[in-house]
Amino acid sequence: MKLIRSLLDKQHELGYLGDDTLRAMAREHNVPLYRLEGLVSFYTHFRRTPPKPITLDVCRDVCCSHRIDSAHLDELKSRDDVEVRMVSCLGRCDHAPAAMVNEEAVTKFDHDLCLQEPIPPTPLTHPTFGRDEFEDKYAEIQQLVENGDIAATCIERITDSGLRGMGGAGFPTGKKWELVAQEQADQKYVICNADESEPGTFKDREIIRNLPHMIIEGMLLAGLTIGASQGIIFIRHEYTLERDALQREIDSAYEAGILGENAAGSGERFELEIFVSPGGYILGEETALLEALEDKRGEPRNKPPYPGQSGLWGKPTLINNVETLAMASAIVRFGADWWSEQGNGEFAGLKFICISGDVNAPGVYLVPMGTSFQKAIQLAGGMKDGKKLKAFLPGGASSLFLKPEAVTTPIDFDAVQQAGSMLGTGAIMIFNEDRDLFEAAKSITRFFRNESCGKCVPCRLGTEKAVQALEQDGRDIDQDMLDELNQTLLETSICGLGQVALAPVKSLLERFPGS
């Protein structure tokens, strides 16, 4: 972590990393220059040339692309003091077109001075799940410490609840904690993956900003359960406001004795720190994330072994995303029965969803599991301008397009799979009757092409070949070729990026011919 942190600090100080700077840093850290060159050339946040006084980053991906004022951008590009960069998803799809001015998130920028308006927090309210229920922060941990066996209690409650990982894979959380707890090692780690970077996905952003104490509580519970003394929150560099909220809460937890040498009075040490991502969607993949923490290029590892067996620095490592840790905290506090009661009918639990696209009030909402996508659209203010629903993606850019009739499907892992897609992170992207779905699918394919780390030859070349064919042949693309290419990526890619890269456009062409 030392090298990447030093590079980030030096770029923050100077604005860029020039040749002389890298040579001096190589001498300072006693590493070959090529080590630093390899990191700087891989991670998207690093730059080698001096920035202009104003740097404007604008998202080019699916939710933002059709809201960009091209004439406005051309005007700004013509200015000597402004550098306009079209970038991958900034995690603020609810403020499309998402933008950052000098690395600060903004809701809009004016024509003359690039003045910005700060991003307001999104209120997260629910009758049984919100800040009011957690005013006595960390009380449950202290109670568990007094009563005895934290590990058994946490694993039992989380397992009984049926909580599944909310980062997209849906692996049973209780089982994951139990497996890492069973590993024998002198050092273990707990990592919170806060690097959500897929178009349409921004729910973790608001959990971090509104409920940071629940993430910290979840990580501490996990640490005491598996026997870890170190926790790391891996957060994307674009989330500056959220990082500040986290750091304030971490500082508060240390002052209260919840973190540190005698965490929550347990007699066990648990330290917690934030690591800022140097950029790249691929770092959301857990083993690529580990490579970054070890000051390497963020390329996914072959599995097995899995991180729970051999993770950070070869030690057993528990990795959960933001929402999973927050929900685990709530379940340990209120119990498995409470969790079951939160769902609709036969469904158990709650789900943070984020809705973007053609709705009146895009944003983050907390809903009972089993809520229909139709109800979710209503929560987001209904269809924008009263237009009809043409299609939707239920689980972000990596999920498959669904037709309007599927809008009655319950928000649930198994139900969405039965409907022909996947819930993923719960990132719902809405497209109205006027949207060109082919262009949307092509944009998603470009995103995966752009964000491929390049380690896998099939992924690196296959995504490029797919984009070229889509751009050259359009809707007349050879679908047999696309099917064969998709199957190759599915079977031979090391990580999920290559495995899903062509699935959205493939589903679009099959389910919406001519759209």
Residues 362 and 504 in one domain: no
Residues 382 and 468 in one domain: no
pLDDT for the residue numbered 169: 77
Checking if the pLDDT of 128 tops 80, the result is no
Under the banding of pLDDT at 50, 70 and 90, the label for residue 1 is: confident
| % of the chain at pLDDT higher than 70 | 94
pLDDT for the residue numbered 112: 55
DSSP assignment letter at 88: S
pLDDT for the residue numbered 124: 58
Residues 146 and 284 in one domain: yes
Evaluate whether residue 369 is within a structural domain: yes
Residues 98-122: tens digit of each pLDDT: 999 899 888 776 655 555 555 555 5
Contact 402, 428 (CB under 8 A): no
- Pairing state between β 104-109 and 99-101: antiparallel
What CA–CA distance (Å, rounded) separates 497 from 452? Answer: 7
What is the rounded average pLDDT for all residues in the chain? 92
Evaluate whether residue 123 is within a structural domain: no
pLDDT for the residue numbered 59: 95
Cα 92 to Cα 241, 398, 442, 447, distances in angstroms: 12, 17, 20, 16
Residues 151-160: tens digit of each pLDDT: 999 999 999 9
Cα 21 to Cα 39, 279, 297, distances in angstroms: 14, 20, 20
Residues 396 and 505 in one domain: no
Evaluate whether residue 49 is within a structural domain: no
Q: How many residues does the chain have?
A: 515
Residues 162 and 307 in one domain: yes
When pLDDT is averaged across residues 210-224 and rounded to a whole number, the result is 94
Final residue of a structural domain among 74, 95, 118: 118
Residues 282 and 155 in one domain: yes
Residues 165-206: tens digit of each pLDDT: 988 778 999 999 999 999 999 999 999 999 999 999 999 999
Specify which residues 367 forms β-bridges with.
351
Evaluate whether residue 48 is within a structural domain: no
Could you tell me which of 125, 122, 137, 103 has the C-alpha nearest to residue 256? 137
Checking if the pLDDT of 71 tops 80, the result is yes
Cα 136 to Cα 132, 141, 219, 244, 327, distances in angstroms: 9, 11, 17, 22, 17
Checking if the pLDDT of 134 tops 50, the result is no
Cα 42 to Cα 4, 68, 278, 384, 454, distances in angstroms: 11, 28, 9, 39, 10
In the chain, the amino acid numbered 424 is G
Q: Which residues, 6+ apart, have CB-to-CB distance to 441 below 8 Å?
A: 401, 504, 505, 508, 509
Cα 407 to Cα 354, 377, 415, 424, distances in angstroms: 15, 9, 12, 16
Residues 248 and 198 in one domain: yes
* CATH number reported for the structural domain that contains residue 66 in this entry: 3.40.30.10
Residues 214 and 327 in one domain: yes
- Pairing state between β 271-276 and 363-368: unpaired
* CATH number reported for the structural domain that contains residue 482 in this entry: 1.20.1440.230
* CATH number reported for the structural domain that contains residue 359 in this entry: 3.10.20.600
Residues 313 and 250 in one domain: yes
Q: Which residues, 6+ apart, have CB-to-CB distance to 49 below 8 Å?
A: 16
SS3 (DSSP) at 357:
strand
Residues 170 and 311 in one domain: yes
Among 101-105, 311-315, 365-369, 390-394, the range scoring the smallest mean pLDDT is 101-105
When pLDDT is averaged across residues 33-38 and rounded to a whole number, the result is 97
Residues 383-434: tens digit of each pLDDT: 999 999 999 999 999 999 999 999 999 999 999 999 999 999 999 999 999 9
Checking if the pLDDT of 49 tops 60, the result is yes
Residues 275-303: tens digit of each pLDDT: 999 999 999 999 999 999 999 999 999 99
pLDDT for the residue numbered 16: 97
Most confident option among 58-67, 147-156, 306-315, 473-482: 306-315
Residues 300 and 238 in one domain: yes
Number of domains in the chain: 5
* CATH number reported for the structural domain that contains residue 292 in this entry: 3.40.50.11540
Evaluate whether residue 228 is within a structural domain: yes
Q: How far apart are the first and last CA of the chain?
A: 47
Checking if the pLDDT of 8 tops 70, the result is yes
What CA–CA distance (Å, rounded) separates 52 from 36? Answer: 24
> Six-digit token pair at 275?
């690591």
Question: In terms of residue numbers, what domain contains 239?
Answer: 131-338
Among 124-128, 207-211, 504-508, the range scoring the smallest mean pLDDT is 124-128
Residues 227-278: tens digit of each pLDDT: 999 999 999 999 998 999 999 999 999 999 999 999 999 999 999 999 999 9
Cα 263 to Cα 136, 145, 248, 316, 506, distances in angstroms: 16, 10, 18, 20, 50
Checking if the pLDDT of 131 tops 60, the result is no
Residues 160 and 250 in one domain: yes
When pLDDT is averaged across residues 355-370 and rounded to a whole number, the result is 95
Evaluate whether residue 126 is within a structural domain: no
Evaluate whether residue 313 is within a structural domain: yes
Report which secondary-structure segment, H or E, holds 271.
Answer: strand 271-276
Cis amide prior to 304 (ω within 30 degrees): yes
Final residue of a structural domain among 305, 321, 338: 338
Final residue of a structural domain among 432, 450, 468: 432
Evaluate whether residue 124 is within a structural domain: no
When pLDDT is averaged across residues 469-491 and rounded to a whole number, the result is 94
When pLDDT is averaged across residues 66-90 and rounded to a whole number, the result is 91
